Structure 1
Amino acid sequence: MDSAAWTLPPESAYVAPTVRRSAKILVVGPAGVGKTTFVDTMSEIEPLHTEESLTSASESVDDLRLTPAKSTTTVALDFGRRTLNDQLVLYLFGTPGQQRFTYLWRTLARNALGALVLADTRRLADSFEVMDRVEDLGLPYAIAVNAFDDAPVHTVAELREALDPDPATPVAVCDVRHEASCARVMIELVEHVLAASSAGRHAADPTVRL
């Protein structure tokens, strides 16, 4: 699958009539890791956001030390759409990052084909619980470390050693503000899901199978 095929098509509220298959992908990670921005960058339509303003009432439960500029948080989902080719479309569902909203993940994961786990090198430990949740949901996933401007830089090999995923799980570094970077990690995820499905490790719903 070539990233050149991911040229953003003219925006349309409707799926192309040639599309015959769809796949649901979760975008997950700790709060403030860039999930909403990722969906914004990848979506060919105006994304749907369910955000609320952060207030002093959340200070005791939300750790914003590394994201002091963050003023809103996703409370249900972010939703976007990306057409891969003339027959296949991806539906992107960004999950809430705040721990108190994770009960929604199981509902959002219904019939999902896989998940993209976004991580931050300034707080890699926060990703372990996210990875555990995705594994509990039975979803194959890829890990994309968002390259924040002030974050420590590590090689992919170092990140893989620190995160210790299954050897087959893709690990990459991306910048969620840039389409080509996001497309590259999404392609890795889709290829991983296809490999897992063909190996019999993930029984996808036939209505959303690639």
Structure 2
Amino acid sequence: MKRTSVKIVVAGGFGTGKTTLVGSVSEIAPLTTEELLTEAGVGVDDVTGVESKTTTTVALDFGRITISPDVVLYLFGTPGQDRFWFMWDELAQGAIGAIVLVDTRRLDTSFAAVDYFERRRIPFVAAVNRFFGECPYTEDEIRGALELGADVPLVWLDARDRSSSKAALVALVRHAMSRLPLPSAL
């Protein structure tokens, strides 16, 4: 039996919940490259809105989900800070799609991730992370702020919750599959 590997990227700005999402759904203890925030990052890393954050991903997060005996999903979380964006090209290589996490307290931290996947024509869903309860914005307001096309799914989740994170992954896989070319008739 041949095993099929599927790669998904979890992206977004600093502090949007990428490491948390990967950890909430991975069947293995996730590999993380979390390091303590230090004085060296003062003036470089924008912690506005996430002042209590003490760590950051410096390379990637990695998790795995076995869908069936012949299909395995690999999750790669990107670092969120500008200075680590050089990693994104390697992490996105071969991915079927991405979840772009959105923190409505700091919508601007999602702009770069949306642009990144749009420019490369990699299917993605925008996932509003409701870490702190209800979202004060409507779907239309978020779509407008992020300039999301009608074809980009917008989902709501709590990255800490396994079933919520799984639902976002399902939405991404469905979206990516909908963009596949139809098989030609013989």
Work out which of the residue numbers 58, 61, 65 in structure 2 matches 1:75. Answer: 58
Residue matched to 1:119: 102
Deviations 1:69-115 (A, max 9, x none): 21111010000001223321110000000100001100111111111
AA matched with 2:103? D
Q: Secondary structure at the match of 1:167?
A: coil
Residue matched to 1:196: 179
Q: Secondary structure at the match of 1:106?
A: helix
Residue matched to 1:99: 82
AA matched with 2:171? E
Cα separation, partners in 2 of 1:34 and 1:180, compared to 1, 3 Å: same
CA contact (8 A) 2:157 2:165 kept: yes
In the alignment, is residue 187 of structure 1 matched against residue 170 of structure 2? Answer: yes
Residue matched to 1:161: 144
Cα separation, partners in 2 of 1:120 and 1:151, compared to 1, 3 Å: farther
Q: Tell me, in whole angstroms, the C-alpha distance in 2 between the residues paired with 1:199 and 1:154.
A: 36
Q: Tell me, in whole angstroms, the C-alpha distance in 2 between the residues paired with 1:74 and 1:19.
A: 33
Matched length: 183
Structure 1 or 2: larger strand share? 2
Q: Tell me, in whole angstroms, the C-alpha distance in 2 between the residues paired with 1:21 and 1:61.
A: 40
Report how far residue 161 of structure 1 moved.
2.9
**TM-score normalised by the chain length of structure 2:** 0.91
Residue matched to 2:68: 85
In the alignment, is residue 170 of structure 1 matched against residue 153 of structure 2? Answer: yes
Output the aligned Cα RMSD.
1.8
Q: Tell me, in whole angstroms, the C-alpha distance in 2 between the residues paired with 1:136 and 1:77.
A: 21
Residue matched to 1:204: none
Residue matched to 2:115: 132
Residue matched to 1:207: none
Identity of aligned residues (%): 46
Q: Tell me, in whole angstroms, the C-alpha distance in 2 between the residues paired with 1:142 and 1:108.
A: 17
Residue matched to 1:206: none
Q: Tell me, in whole angstroms, the C-alpha distance in 1 between the residues paired with 2:97 and 2:21.
A: 16
Cα separation, partners in 2 of 1:91 and 1:71, compared to 1, 3 Å: same
Q: Tell me, in whole angstroms, the C-alpha distance in 1 between the residues paired with 2:175 and 2:125.
A: 8
Query: Which region of structure 1 is more displaced relative to structure 2, 108-117 or 135-144?
Result: 135-144
Q: Tell me, in whole angstroms, the C-alpha distance in 2 between the residues paired with 1:190 and 1:150.
A: 26
Report how far residue 188 of structure 1 moved.
0.4
CA contact (8 A) 1:122 1:152 kept: no
Residue matched to 1:24: 7
Residue matched to 2:28: 45
Q: Secondary structure at the match of 1:191?
A: helix
Q: Tell me, in whole angstroms, the C-alpha distance in 2 between the residues paired with 1:119 and 1:84.
A: 26
Q: Secondary structure at the match of 1:198?
A: coil
Q: Secondary structure at the match of 2:179?
A: helix
Report how far residue 151 of structure 1 moved.
6.8
Q: Tell me, in whole angstroms, the C-alpha distance in 2 between the residues paired with 1:158 and 1:173.
A: 14
